[in-house]
């Protein structure tokens, strides 16, 4: 039953040349696609749930879908994580719901407010044996909208929005978080770069110097595969100029730096949408959801298999080592893990 916090995973990933994929789940087919791929490749994984996913699916349903996944694959190390939690109340609810890890995202607040919110959430989560991720700096996409910036202006002034290495050290010291989401040039969604797709590796190096040993998290790390964009555009969609983070750059970050968690949501949405569009366009009489959601789920399986492989996250084959490490740590489990 290796449902666990992110600690055993990050302990090995930090210097082991791999990163854990954190995949957003919103329904059964997405969850099954992720889990089947990770089982086939024996890769540890994080299933993450946003506030929006909780609302869309009603968390009770998601909880049982996730429980079924854990039951189907007891050999896999799995963490259940809150993505972009915004309040201490939500963190408390997720702890009660059996999450093993939470993110508290105060990055849109001023620095002192972020410290205060993150410290409260961290103290609470740690008291229940749950690990905590927080964020410093500003990503593009959804977050730039918060302050009313255009994508163009965000990219032009990117240096200003990247995580400050000295501030990161102070933040870590004052909050006691277990991992830090850093702004290093990525953004949420399908339109990540107007110009060259490039991560700020020098900034990761600086953060690793001021925060040695702190596991780093990359949000907005979908690669926006061209095959899905082509299908979407061919079959009635309109996603011109969509661009993601090249998988070679994710691979470099996972292999050479302390990047331990890589968040992927957009690519799952694209795989499902591309296949549904294809079925609708090529088989206009189709009306059985199994016959369009099924191909979507298959597309997710092959995509996630590639992601966890040696050319991207490099976590394939690491499940057993993570479980052994978890056992060595005394099989730590959060207080409400059975719920």
CB 81 within 8 A of CB 68: no
- Given 63, 84, 275, 277, the residue binding ligand G3H (CB under 6 A): 84
- Given 31, 42, 107, 221, the residue binding ligand 13P (CB under 6 A): 221
Range in contact with ligand G3H (rule: CB under 6 A) among 47-55, 209-217, 245-253, 306-314: 47-55
Three-class secondary structure of residue 12 per DSSP: helix
Three-class secondary structure of residue 75 per DSSP: coil
| Closer by beta carbon to ligand G3H, 271 or else 316 | 271
- Spatial CA neighbour of 141 closest among 133, 151, 132, 131: 151
Where are the alpha helices (H) located in the chain, listed in sequence order? 7-16, 28-41, 51-57, 59-72, 88-96, 111-127, 142-146, 151-156, 158-161, 165-175, 201-210, 226-234, 247-256, 266-282, 290-308, 319-328
Range in contact with ligand 13P (rule: CB under 6 A) among 4-12, 152-160, 260-268, 327-335: 260-268
- Given 24, 107, 131, 315, the residue binding ligand 13P (CB under 6 A): 24
- Given 22, 38, 53, 121, the residue binding ligand G3H (CB under 6 A): 53
| Closer by beta carbon to ligand G3H, 42 or else 273 | 273
- Given 63, 219, 261, 277, the residue binding Zn ion (CB under 5 A): 219
CB 83 within 8 A of CB 48: yes
Residue 222 sits in the site that holds ligand 13P (CB under 6 A): yes
d(CA 157, CA 164): 14
Residue 263 sits in the site that holds ligand 13P (CB under 6 A): yes
Chosen from ligand 13P, ligand G3H, Zn ion, none, partner binding at 81 (C-beta under 5 to 8 Å by type): none
| Closer by beta carbon to ligand G3H, 8 or else 185 | 185
Range in contact with Zn ion (rule: CB under 5 A) among 1-9, 74-82, 92-100, 217-225: 217-225
d(CA 48, CA 114): 22
Active site residue 83: yes
DSSP conformational letter for 213:
T
Catalogue the active-site residues. 83
């Amino acid at each position: 039953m290796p449902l666990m916090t992110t600690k055993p995973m990050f302990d090995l990933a930090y210097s082991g040349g791999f990163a854990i994929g954190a995949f957003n789940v919103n329904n059964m087919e997405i969850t099954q696609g992720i889990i089947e791929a990770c089982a086939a490749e024996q890769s540890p994984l994080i299933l993450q749930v946003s506030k929006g996913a909780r609302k869309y699916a009603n968390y009770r349903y998601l909880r049982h879908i996730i429980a079924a996944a854990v039951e189907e694959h007891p050999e896999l190390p799995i963490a259940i994580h809150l993505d972009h939690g915004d309040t201490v109340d939500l963190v408390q609810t997720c702890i009660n719901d059996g999450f093993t890890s939470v993110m508290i995202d105060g990055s849109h607040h001023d620095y002192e407010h972020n410290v205060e919110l993150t410290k409260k959430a961290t103290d609470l989560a740690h008291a229940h044996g749950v690990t905590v991720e927080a964020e410093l700096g500003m990503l593009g996409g959804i977050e730039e909208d918060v302050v009313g910036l255009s994508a163009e202006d965000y990219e032009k002034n990117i240096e200003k929005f990247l995580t400050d290495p000295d501030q990161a050290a102070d933040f870590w010291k004052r909050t006691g978080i277990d991992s830090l989401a850093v702004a290093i040039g990525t953004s949420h969604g399908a339109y990540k770069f107007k110009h060259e797709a490039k991560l700020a590796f020098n900034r990761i190096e600086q953060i690793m110097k001021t925060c040695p040993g702190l596991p780093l998290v990359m949000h907005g790390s979908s690669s926006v595969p061209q095959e899905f964009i082509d299908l979407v555009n061919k079959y009635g969609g309109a996603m011109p100029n969509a661009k993601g983070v090249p998988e070679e750059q994710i691979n470099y970050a996972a292999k050479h730096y302390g990047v331990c968690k890589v968040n992927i949501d957009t690519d799952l949405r694209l795989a499902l949408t591309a296949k549904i569009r294809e079925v609708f366009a090529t088989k206009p009489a189709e009306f059985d959801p199994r016959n369009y959601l099924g191909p979507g789920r298959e597309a997710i399986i092959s995509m996630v298999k590639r992601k966890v492989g040696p050319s991207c996250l490099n976590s394939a084959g690491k499940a057993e080592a993570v479980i052994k490490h978890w056992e060595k740590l005394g099989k730590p489990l959060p207080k409400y893990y059975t719920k």
